Structure 1
Amino acid sequence: MTTQRVLVIKLGALGDFVQAMGPFAAIRAHHAGARITLLTTRPFAELAAACPWFDEVWLDDKPPLWRLDKVLVLAARLRGGHFGRVYDLQTSDRSSWYFRLMGQGVEWSGIAKGCSHPHANPRRDFMHTIERQREQLAMAGINKVPPPDLAWAEAAPGRFDIPGRFVLLVPGGAPHRPAKRWPVERFGRVALWLAERGFTPVLLGTNKERAEIDTIRAICPQAVDLAERTGFPDIIALARRAEAALGNDTGPMHLIAAGGCPSVVLFSHDSDPALCAPRGNVTVLRRPSLAELGESEVEAALDGMLPAP
């Protein structure tokens, strides 16, 4: 018997990728004997390869439409995959265009015009990502979508031996959206408050947050700097050991919350938690401007999550 081939499309961004992990698991359970391929982008290659739901991972470099040579290569690869069913969890104009590249005969769940299993809800853009994807899959015949279970991350050996109890701090965010960042000096003073209570603050970020990390370390020298040292699987493993986490509305906080870590996530007017907030043991604090959010309220939210010193 020919093994069914299934394609799942999820190109990014990180928070959206994390919120698709429940649907990934549901698709795997529904197509238990199928060969499932994930089409994603290069930043998520390591995380995708570590996930237990896919037999192979393809990378999409998202060629511009005017690069006909690259488009034809992508089209040949998609058609050559001989996929019987496609779950487009990206549901963008670009991923819907892939429906046309693949030609007729493939079952397609998404929003592409003419597809076999459309997510036919005109208010889909007003739904939280998790509810929207759950409804999309229900319309394609998958009625049970679990919350993400990232226990598989425990199988990866931990690379960081942080003694005692620790709290993750994520002070960064997209450079082009500064309104989503809480003032870094307040992160530093909360880090000092944590250290005084016996919890080691652990700082996560990239080279784009180097100035913020250095500022926090200047205020709280006890903080551990892991900036530029953690891949996405590392963040999940750390989240499963941490006592709590504090961060801006950014992708790593989705990973941390999905890993089961009690989390305080900070939102400004720049994004709507009703549509995109992480789910789980999460407290959302929101102000029109994050400059209006005081340290005492953040500390109170964390205090409700932390064990007694």
Structure 2
Amino acid sequence: MAKGPLQYKKILVIKLGALGDFVQALAACRSIHEYHQGAKITLLTTSPYVEIAKSCPYFDFVWDGGRPDSFMVTWSLVQKIRKEKFDRIYDLQTSSRTNRYYTLLWPFRPEWSGIAKGASHYHKNRKRTKMHTLDRQAEQLAMAGVGLGQGRVGGTASAPDLSWATEVQKGAARTELTWFGVRKPFALIVPGSTPNRPAKRWPAQNYGQLAMRLRRAGFMPVIIGTETEQEDTYIIQQACPGALSLINRTDFIQIIMLARQAHLAIGNDTGPMHLIASSNCPSMVLFSSESNPDLCAPRGADVTVLKRKKLAELGVGEVWETLQTMGKIDPHRPPHADQPIGAQSSSDG
């Protein structure tokens, strides 16, 4: 006889990264948390996501070390999992690595939701890799009786809900706009992406031109990212000296809190845009042929995707007009006194 949700006392969720994937998995984690009320839920992840996971109300315990670098360390992790005697494990990473954890748990394996061969709740969909991440994970859980009507397969999954961050950080000075020197109204600019995939980046000089348009339209451009975006940030600030750099000054929670107060955000297909879009900040996300928005685009209350085979082909004028279409820019207020709205400079591509 199948167990009811209240009969599960200990649950393990596995999600290792990367940032965008981790953020999207929080939708599934919420469903797991709501289904297994009263159970103790542990998350196995990696070091970049430990702090945000500890702030998230969906987990009681957070384990680091989800990507062991040797067989001996892997075996130690598997023994740790075995010792905890979890009633069910939800593998949201569904990789060869996590499949190996299932294999090594033989012969006393707990219930397992994922794609490991022999799993009790196998995600039986040969087209699963053709699904958007959120829809794929929702269907995986539905096959385990969780969410989407507790067993109904198919449909479109909701975006992650990051509203809990507001309560967690309520009154914290480090999340106030004055902490960063930001004033309203402001627009977030996210010019980075994975360093080894430069084709995912819209040219920094285009972001610079856009930042100047935003500035002249009355918005403070605020740039967020890591040290790998330092050069891009310099180019943007050369074009728009009024742009504020928060490079290396924000953690994940702070990005959420900034996003919840921003007028809009624009950025490449990169992890922080998932945090921003899921915080219900009106967001424009730029995609190249390097990734498919049908499979991985951020979801939120107000998300617009622009895609070009090469992002250098996407002009500043087109981006600006799209922001106007979104209703985020007043079309009656030209961004440049000497350039009509919609016009593109020679560097627009």
Question: Is the TM-score greater than 0.5?
Answer: yes
Q: Indicate whether 1:201 and 2:213 are aligned.
A: no
Q: Indicate whether 1:160 and 2:163 are aligned.
A: no
C-alpha displacement of 1:190? 0.2
From 311, 314, 317, give the equivalent of 1:290.
Answer: 311
Residue 91 to residue 17, structure 1, CA distance change in 2 (3 Å) = same
Give the distance between the partners of 1:277 and 1:68, measured in 2 at CA: 35
Does structure 2 conserve the Cα–Cα contact (< 8 Å) formed by 1:26 and 1:146?
A: no
Of structures 1 and 2, the one with the larger relative CO (CA 8 A, separation 6+) is 1
C-alpha displacement of 1:14? 0.7
Aligned to 1:183: 203
From 37, 42, 47, give the equivalent of 2:47.
Answer: 42
Give the distance between the partners of 1:244 and 1:222, measured in 2 at CA: 17
Q: How does 1:86-165 map to 2 (within 5 A)?
A: 86-103=89-106, 104-144=108-148, 146-155=158-167, 156=169, 157=172, 158-161=175-178, 162-165=182-185
Amino acid at match of 1:136: Q
Give the distance between the partners of 2:84 and 2:103, measured in 1 at CA: 15
* Larger of the two Rg values belongs to structure: 2
Give the distance between the partners of 1:63 and 1:137, measured in 2 at CA: 26
C-alpha displacement of 1:61? 4.9
Q: Unaligned regions of 5+ residues in structure 2, if any? A: 1-5, 149-156, 334-349
From 281, 299, 302, give the equivalent of 1:279.
Answer: 299
C-alpha displacement of 1:109? 0.2
Amino acid at match of 2:205: E
From 250, 256, 269, give the equivalent of 1:249.
Answer: 269
Does structure 2 conserve the Cα–Cα contact (< 8 Å) formed by 1:200 and 1:223?
A: yes
Q: Indicate whether 1:299 and 2:299 are aligned.
A: no
Give the distance between the partners of 1:247 and 1:292, measured in 2 at CA: 16
TM-score of the superposed pair, with normalisation by structure 2: 0.85
C-alpha displacement of 1:105? 3.6
Aligned to 2:231: 211
Does structure 2 conserve the Cα–Cα contact (< 8 Å) formed by 1:202 and 1:225?
A: yes
C-alpha displacement of 1:227? 0.5
Does structure 2 conserve the Cα–Cα contact (< 8 Å) formed by 1:109 and 1:137?
A: yes
1:223-263: CA deviations, max 9, x gaps?
A: 11100000011111111000110000001001100000111
Give the distance between the partners of 2:213 and 2:121, measured in 1 at CA: 52
Q: Indicate whether 1:13 and 2:25 are aligned.
A: no
TM-score of the superposed pair, with normalisation by structure 1: 0.96
Aligned to 1:24: 29
Give the distance between the partners of 1:291 and 1:146, measured in 2 at CA: 32
- Find the residue that maps to 1:20 and give its secondary structure: helix
Aligned to 1:62: 67
C-alpha displacement of 1:279? 1.1
Aligned to 1:260: 280
Give the distance between the partners of 1:76 and 1:105, measured in 2 at CA: 12
- The root-mean-square deviation of aligned C-alpha atoms, in Å, is 1.6
Give the distance between the partners of 1:305 and 1:242, measured in 2 at CA: 14
Does structure 2 conserve the Cα–Cα contact (< 8 Å) formed by 1:244 and 1:305?
A: no
Amino acid at match of 1:150: L
Q: How many residues align?
A: 307
1:191-220: CA deviations, max 9, x gaps?
A: 000000000000001011100111111111
